[in-house]
Amino acid sequence: MSLDPDGVNSSPSPFANRDWFFPSPTFIHRPPPKSPKYPRRFSTASRIAQPYLHRHHPDSKPPKPPPSPSTSHSRSSGPPSTPIPAAPIGSKYGEISRRDSFLRRPENSGKQEEGDAKFELLRETTTFGEKGAWFSGFRIRVRWQMAVSTAIVITALASLVHKNFSLHNQVDDLEEQISKLHFTLRACNISPSLGYVDSRLQEIDDISSKSLKVVALIVSVTLLSIPIVSLKYIDFVSKSRSLDTVSEEVSLSKQLAYRVDVFLSVHPYAKPLTLLVATLLLIFLGGLALFGVTDDCLADCLWLSWTYVADSGNHANSEGIGPRLASVSISFGGMLIFAMMLGLVSDAISEKFDSLRKGKSEVVEQNHTLILGWSDKLGSLLNQLAIANESLGGGIIVVMAERDKEEMEMDIAKMEFDSKGTSVICRSGSPLILADLKKVSVSKARAIIVLAEDGNADQSDARALRTVLSLTGVKEGLRGHIVVEMSDLDNEVLVKLVGGDLVETVVAHDVIGRLMIQCARQPGLAQIWEDILGFENCEFYIKRWPQLDGMQFEAVLISFPDAIPCGVKVASCGGKIILNPDDTYVLQDGDEVLVIAEDDDSYAPAALPTVWRGSLPKDFIVPKSAEKILLCGWRRDMEDIIMVLDAFLAPDSELWMFNEVPENEREKKLIDGGLDLSRLVNISLVNREGNAVIRRHLESLPLESFDSILILADESVEDSAIQADSRSLATLLLIRDIQAKRLPYRETMASQLQRSFSQGSWIGEMQQASDKSVIISEILDPRTKNLLSMSRISDYVLSNELVSMALAMVAEDRQINAVLEELFAEEGSELQIRQADLYLREGEELSFYEIILRARRRREIVIGYRLATAERAVINPPAKSEKQKWSLKDVFVVIAEKE
């Protein structure tokens, strides 16, 4: 290296000519080879497409090989002449030549026949004819031209990008060398040359930056145009295929659209992922475009592109045509992106709220009570479960039915029950679908209640059976037990067979039918059952007390100040519950005591009190006399009611059946239900046909001679609680009115009722009739109970509420179901109402413990009493050791063997 006197390098600088780094983008002209195979004027695309077009076009001729130089030279003695080049194929001259040859075809008969044969073959093999064949060849030619052109453009673009990047690398190497020289000059204290070198470095950086910006701009435009070109090409190919084939074939564009739809619908995160990719792609392309038209670095351009996407108003500060055009394009894409984002967010929020509204979300609970199905008993059932959970501070009840969640919540709100801290969660679903069962955490529920549907009994029980099958098929298993409400006693065996040890059944019609019979024979028993079955007062509890082991049951009876023992769960018999055991039974290790108490934590055994036993005033068995009973209405379990009455009533009793079922069909229905009329011992059947809400039909009956009248919810209207109760209430009023008018002592009793009612009051007259005979009405709607309780003209059995109480009690403790089954069975123990003269004398002062021990001589357990001056009975009375004066008009509630 030589330096001039000024310290500057005198050798020619390699950077003097900038064209050495960036040559002009012109095509380099190269001379043709000495022996060209094709004329020079033929383009590459023409040489590639020429044999293909001659082969496929129907009116094209096979290409002739170009004459060799030797042949041309031999034909003339002079210098070799230059061959005349043919027109390039694909140009307008080539097209004119082909058309001209097509018009001159008749001059050559041999070629004409060959062309005609080809055209006939094309007409036979395609439905488009001659024009379709020509157009097919044209499409193929255009398709090849598009493919070749696209390949050439992509190759040229790739080479240009590669060349720019290689030049960029060379610039980087030169910069590194200049930097080394710069430090070398500094070390030699040669400062005048530094400015020149820095300017050169700046020029090199500018040139390199400009090259990168051009490349970035080309890349962004290319990437942006690729989707448009691809879509156009797909559309073109789809149209070409649709014209090529006659059969109905799905086009490529439809297939692509279908795949996109499947991807977006099947994958849950496809839409947000697609939106994210589109946003990143827009930011990247916009950053490259800004980098190509501005002087900023790539990082700043990417950040500026993001600001344009996020806020379309940021592009207002752009200056220059290029930056403004790029910023407007990015802002427009950002508006589309954010519009789609808002749509996705709005759809997601709407879908979530819609899922919550329709009850499709999952319930994440444990130890909750699950109710499957919907019926009129749901309100009473929720009320009882809420009362049971009150001692625990509340609980969770989940209701799943094939109804809309909003409708269920509105209906539950109309029930107006006191939740007492219990939350009710509704979900819409089918208990027959395992996915819906998992949605309500069925495997973690402590009790599952399956309600019977309103309508046909067999269909309801069949659905309950399928529900039990679904529950037993849960893979995780069930933590709690299943309580199934059955409509027909005959279907109970099948459900227990399927469910096994997990299932407890409550046959609603069987329970209500037996309860109505007991209440008809013993007025006032319905109120006692309401107190025992419900959780508001006293109910059954089973618990083990080790301190009572070795004690006789007679001593256990007076060991609980706040409870009344009434049975033992014997561990040696596999947990069998024995009601009213012998006094000499000694409690063994593992035995549990069945009591009636207010709550499970409200009682405990205490020290034995000193109780005077005393003696019974008289020891006799209450004689059973023949009775006359009327049944108004028809139930599907009529044969079970008749069998129970035959077991309870004394011989020579009469059972009158008054309903709209024809008399010739009744016997057939009873026999189909399993009743053998020849085996009836104590009763005889009397059939009467008529409508119970028509007065003249009722007047044909001896209503004043019946000991008890049972008004049943007729099978024809039992699906509607309001309609059934209206019919029962109308029948009750008509019967009471007819009885009051037939009473011989109507006028003599009127003076005794003037204190409460005016002379001739219809309620007063009906109350006179109620003293003569007992009427039990089956009520379905709890609101009807208030009317009957105020009028005091009839006793009633609130069937839906009692069944709900039984379901709630069995759901809380499945062992209670065995107790209820025995109390309602034909044999064993039952609740009875006894007169006070069986246990005490007039005016005698006794404690409740003393009455309990006296009743044990009759093998009975006294659980409560009702004073003559009181309207309701007292179950599990407090202060059992205190003495009080009793009256012979008082009655006691006992658990005794069925007579």
Complete DSSP assignment for 736-761? HHHHHHH-TTHHHHHGGGTTTS-TT-
Q: Which of 509, 448, 445, 442 is nearest to 483 (CA)?
A: 448
Q: Are 648 and 521 a contacting pair, CB within 8 Å?
A: yes
Residues forming a β-bridge with 683: 653
How far apart are the C-alpha atoms of 485 and 461, rounded to whole Å? Answer: 8
Does this model's pTM top 0.85? My answer is no
Q: 771-798: b or e for each residue (b if 16 or more CB lie within 10 Å)?
A: eebbbbbbbbbbebeeebeebebbbbbb
Give, for 569, the enclosing helix (H) or strand (E): strand 564-570
Place of tokens 């973690």: 444
Cβ pair 796, 774 in contact under 8 A: no
Residues 895, 875: contact at Cβ < 8 Å? Answer: no
pLDDT, tens digit (0-9, with 9 covering 90-100), for 543-595: 999 999 999 999 999 999 999 999 999 998 888 999 999 988 999 999 999 99
Please tell me the distance from the alpha carbon of residue 736 to that of residue 430, in angstroms, as a whole number.
46
**pLDDT for 825:** 78
Which tokens sit at 154? 């992509």
User: What distance in Å separates the CA atoms of residue 538 and residue 700, rounded to the nearest whole number?
Assistant: 44
DSSP secondary structure letter of residue 191: -
The predicted structure's pLDDT at residue 87: 40
pLDDT tens by residue, 421-447: 899 999 989 999 998 999 999 999 999
Say how far apart CA 326 and CA 570 lie, in whole Å. Answer: 90
Cα–Cα distance for residue pair 593/608, rounded to 1 Å? 16
- Looking at the chain, the number of H-run helices and the number of E-run strands are 28, 22
| Alpha-carbon gap, residue 696 to 629, rounded angstroms | 20
**CA 848 → CA 472, 567, 594, 853, distances in Å?**
48, 19, 19, 9
- State residue 241's pLDDT score: 60
Torsion of the alpha carbons at 876, 879, 882 and 883, rounded to the nearest 10:
-30
- The whole-angstrom separation of Cα 201 and Cα 504 is 94
Q: 88: which DSSP letter?
A: P
Judge contact between 856 and 557, C-beta under 8 A. Answer: yes
Q: Cite the DSSP H helix spans in 3-68.
A: 44-56
Q: Which helix (H) or strand (E) holds 865?
A: strand 861-866
Structure tokens that stand for 299 in this block: 């990082």
Residue 485 has what pLDDT? 92
CB-based contacts of 366: which residues, under 8 Å, 6+ apart? Answer: 441, 444
Element at 796 (helix H, strand E):
strand 795-798
Query: What is d(CA 335, CA 358) in angstroms, rounded to the nearest whole number?
Result: 34
- 450 phi/psi in degrees, rounded to 5: -105, 110
Radius of gyration of the chain (CA): 51
* Residue 482 structure tokens: 């299943």
HSE-CB of 579 using CA atoms within 13 angstroms: 28
Say if residues 372 and 431 touch (Cβ distance below 8 Å): yes
| Residue indicated by tokens 């005609």 | 116
* Cα end-to-end span (Å), the chain: 136
| Rounded Cα distance, 877 and 893, in Å | 12
pLDDT for the residue numbered 116:
52
CA–CA dist 754, 748 (Å, integer): 12
One-letter amino acid of 199:
S
Residue at token pair 């094209």: 60
- Residues with Cβ within 8 Å of 89's Cβ and at least 6 positions away in sequence, in order, are 42, 46, 49, 50, 53
Give every CB contact of residue 315 below 8 A, 6+ residues apart in sequence.
Answer: 308, 324, 327, 328, 330, 331
Q: Could you write out the DSSP letters of every residue in 359-398?
A: T-SPP--SS-EEEES--TTHHHHHHHHHHHHGGGT--EEE
Please report which helix (H) or strand (E) contains residue 654, including its range: strand 653-659
**Ranges of the chain whose pLDDT falls below 50:** 1-114, 117-136, 191-194, 246-247, 745-763, 766, 769
Look at the block and give the residue holding tokens 């019979």.
517
For 620, the 3-state DSSP assignment is coil
Q: How far apart are CA 62 and CA 40, in angstroms?
A: 20
Residue 621: burial class (beta carbons within 10 Å; 0-12, 13-18, 19+): exposed
In 3-state terms, what secondary structure has residue 267? coil
For 464, 507, 620, the CA distances from 487, given in Å and listed in that order, are 10, 6, 41
CB atoms within 10 A of CB 280: 12
**How many C-beta neighbours within 10 Å does residue 492 have?**
18
d(CA 154, CA 158): 6
Q: Which residues neighbour 403 within 8 Å (Cβ) at sequence distance 6 or greater?
A: 374, 428
Instruction: Burial-class residue 168 by CB neighbours within 10 Å (0-12, 13-18, 19+).
Output: middle
Give residue 199's Cα distance to chain centre.
74
pLDDT of residue 418: 79
Residues found in the chain: 899
Could you count the other beta carbons within 10 Å of the beta carbon of residue 192?
Answer: 10
Q: Which helix (H) or strand (E) holds 829?
A: strand 829-835
Largest CA distance in the chain: 166
